[in-house]
Structure 1
Amino acid sequence: MLLSQYRTDSGRPQVVAREGTEAYDVRTEASLYDLAMHCAKSGEGLQAHVLSLGLGEAVDLNRLYAEGRLLPPLTHPDPAHLHLTGTGLTHLGSASTRAAMHASTKPEDETDSMKMFRMGIEGGKPANGHAGVQPEWFYKGTGHALVAPGAPLQSPAFAEDGGEEPELAGLYVIAPDGTPVRVGFAVANEFSDHVTERQNYLYLAHSKLRPCSVGPEILVGELPDSVEGTSRIRRGNEVIFEKPFLSGEANMSHTIANLEHHHFKYQLFCQPGDVHVHMFGTATLSFAEGISPQDGDVFEIEAAPFGLPLRNPLAFQPGPKPEPRTEIRAM
């Protein structure tokens, strides 16, 4: 089952369920967050709960998309309680681009990125039920940085670049007893500034503090072992970049369970009622192909199991160069 949300004429979120090609309103005024928290507390499966509520009128999701009414598939009433995070160097082949960005002048030296990737290959899929090696981890922001499908991904005026990262994300709520509960999986654009990152790998944390987008639809249930998708960039009527991407555990150096463990092992991220969107990494970047996205370009990420493609235009915020200093007011 695929679940999504759109904004009604009255402004509230309406949950939509889809099986195959047909999509229907779920007979409820509750948001997907409300439904997920109910299930996290009661132990009822989300798909079963949705079906028990019943399905109503048929919905044209493509029309709602064109009208700009689709919402992120899972939100929190207070965006400060939604956390956007991710892991990198988790996919087979993902280290080569990163290593090239930060290559040593000494050919015999192994980059830190390659070392981290090799650690994942050797210890990211433990067979004994214990935790494996830690992945690279990064923070993107709160729900204030989560952009709806179809809405612009805004690159700040001080940014050096704005580039897509086609990924899969896990979406979670924290149950009243502090247990993380996975709602489902979705495609994501983990939008980043690769030019800033390339200057020095210690700038990666800065490069990730950008908006991102997820959805439009959540896959409720198990993640396919291998996911094949396509990432493209449209400039007007022309496709300037198109490349397949692979995800799912068959194409990863870590298990999903290991990545989830190393995020939720921190009690900070197990606060009842919070929402988490955790992105699992990628091995495909247009930046690696020498593409420099421009204002108005549209990123498009799609993978068949996840329903509608995720589309977001790029918008560079205007601002002076060089970057003016932020003034802080003393009390």
Structure 2
Amino acid sequence: MSVFFECTYRGRRHVGLDKPEPGAPLVLYPLAEETDLRRTALAAGRDRAALVAELTSGGGRVTVPDFETGFVRFRPPLMPASAGDAMVSGFMQTHNVKVGADTQSQPNWFLKGMGDCLKVPGDDLAVPSSAVALCEEAEIVLVYVTDDAGEPRYTGYTFGNDLTDIGRFKRHQGHLSYAKLCDAAVAPWLFLDEPPQRVTGRVTVERDGGPGWQGGFTTGTKALHYGLGGMMSELFSYGTLRRPGLVHYVFIGADRSSFHGGYRMTDQDRVTLEFTSHGVTLSNRIHWPRPVTAAVEG
């Protein structure tokens, strides 16, 4: 698999050319501040050799020692400088385990937010105080960059957690749009390959430092009821989504979750998704401020 990522180290932009491994040195290459990785990725396509040549053309190489990894801040893959130039969205009930007799010919699509709703491992995931019941959704995330001609071009994939207010959706299925307005987590690594056919992993939800719920998941293009090509062609047939320079992060659906297993999340729970088949882990704490009810004076 070909992978690259962006981060800041001591306040300066860098890229890495492989997924970091625990205990291994973190090798980075400085980026000029004006570098637009969207254009770099478009120019290289998924040609790793061309991409590596462009990303390392400025010269220089930095090896970050273990005691300085705290100065490294990872970014979502290809995230633009302006959050308004990135759109986070997805499809729901795409997996075979969720379809029924009344399944539509095209899955529902939702808007999750602009780029600032997308977090990396270690960040808190914020949800509205009015949320009813939450669930994690372990998913493949497709990354597209819209070129100057208005054509969204696939650049690669990563993995994410589409945190959802499933309680609101269960109360009223017409409220899907509201249910999705929670933060999402995404791995910083951009895999420069076709979306994987099969991904397996495990979810762990911790409460007060101890285990609250655990369960496995299976996803990937083989788990989809719908053809991925048809899903994306339909989505990008709408001109309003084809603004040049816009980066799309598209979640393609999930297996069952802790909610389906009977678990109910609360504020400060920590959700860890281990995409074990691909060596990727996302771990984030839930920030769910609940409304304060004022005391009534007698």
TM-score for both structures, normalised by structure 2: 0.86
1:63 and 1:310 map into 2 onto residues whose CA distance is 21
Question: In the TM superposition, what are the counterparts of 1:81-120 in structure 2 within 5 Å?
Answer: 81-95=85-99, 114-116=101-103, 119=104
Of 40, 58, 62, 1:57 maps to 62
Of 40, 65, 74, 2:78 maps to 74
Superposed CA deviations along residues 95-115 of structure 1, whole A, max 9, x for unmatched, are 4xxxxxxxxxxxxxxxxx751
2:221 and 2:125 map into 1 onto residues whose CA distance is 28
Question: In the TM superposition, what are the counterparts of 1:1-331 in structure 2 within 5 Å?
Answer: 1-10=2-11, 12-18=12-18, 21=21, 23-29=26-32, 34-40=36-42, 42=43, 44-45=45-46, 47-52=48-53, 53-54=55-56, 56-59=61-64, 64=69, 69-95=73-99, 114-116=101-103, 119=104, 133-304=105-276, 306-321=278-293
AA aligned opposite 1:94: K
In the alignment, is the contact (CA less than 8 A) between 1:233 and 1:239 conserved in 2? yes
AA aligned opposite 2:102: K
1:20 Cα deviation (Å)? 7.8
In the alignment, is the contact (CA less than 8 A) between 1:166 and 1:187 conserved in 2? yes
2:281 and 2:124 map into 1 onto residues whose CA distance is 15
AA aligned opposite 2:86: L
1:174 Cα deviation (Å)? 0.6
2:211 and 2:19 map into 1 onto residues whose CA distance is 30
SS in structure 2 of the partner of residue 93 of structure 1: helix
In the alignment, is the contact (CA less than 8 A) between 2:145 and 2:246 conserved in 1? yes
Superposed CA deviations along residues 109-148 of structure 1, whole A, max 9, x for unmatched, are xxxx7512xx4xxxxxxxxxxxxx4221111111121223
1:202 and 1:34 map into 2 onto residues whose CA distance is 39
1:286 Cα deviation (Å)? 0.5
Superposed CA deviations along residues 59-102 of structure 1, whole A, max 9, x for unmatched, are 579974x667222223122111211110011112024xxxxxxx
SS in structure 2 of the partner of residue 76 of structure 1: coil
1:30 Cα deviation (Å)? 5.5
SS in structure 2 of the partner of residue 296 of structure 1: coil
1:257 and 1:60 map into 2 onto residues whose CA distance is 43
Question: Which deviates the most, 204-213 or 12-21?
Answer: 12-21
Superposed CA deviations along residues 251-308 of structure 1, whole A, max 9, x for unmatched, are 1112221221122111111111011100000122101111111222111112245443
* CA 166–138 in structure 1, closer or farther in 2 if over 3 Å, else same: same
RMSD between aligned alpha carbons? 2.6
In the alignment, is the contact (CA less than 8 A) between 2:133 and 2:166 conserved in 1? yes
Percent identity reads 23
> Which residue does the alignment assign to 1:100?
none
AA aligned opposite 1:71: R
1:184 and 1:307 map into 2 onto residues whose CA distance is 17
* CA 77–19 in structure 1, closer or farther in 2 if over 3 Å, else same: closer
1:161 Cα deviation (Å)? 2.7
SS in structure 2 of the partner of residue 80 of structure 1: helix
> Which residue does the alignment assign to 1:102?
none
* CA 195–214 in structure 1, closer or farther in 2 if over 3 Å, else same: same
Superposed CA deviations along residues 218-277 of structure 1, whole A, max 9, x for unmatched, are 211122221112222122442222222111121111222122112211111111101110
Superposed CA deviations along residues 299-327 of structure 1, whole A, max 9, x for unmatched, are 111224544311110011243359xxxxx
Q: Which runs of 5+ in 2 are unaligned?
A: none
1:149 Cα deviation (Å)? 2.0
2:75 and 2:15 map into 1 onto residues whose CA distance is 10
2:17 and 2:67 map into 1 onto residues whose CA distance is 14
1:19 Cα deviation (Å)? 5.8
1:284 and 1:171 map into 2 onto residues whose CA distance is 23
TM-score for both structures, normalised by structure 1: 0.78
* CA 37–243 in structure 1, closer or farther in 2 if over 3 Å, else same: same
Superposed CA deviations along residues 33-54 of structure 1, whole A, max 9, x for unmatched, are 82332342x3554522332143
In the alignment, is the contact (CA less than 8 A) between 1:36 and 1:46 conserved in 2? no
1:115 and 1:280 map into 2 onto residues whose CA distance is 20
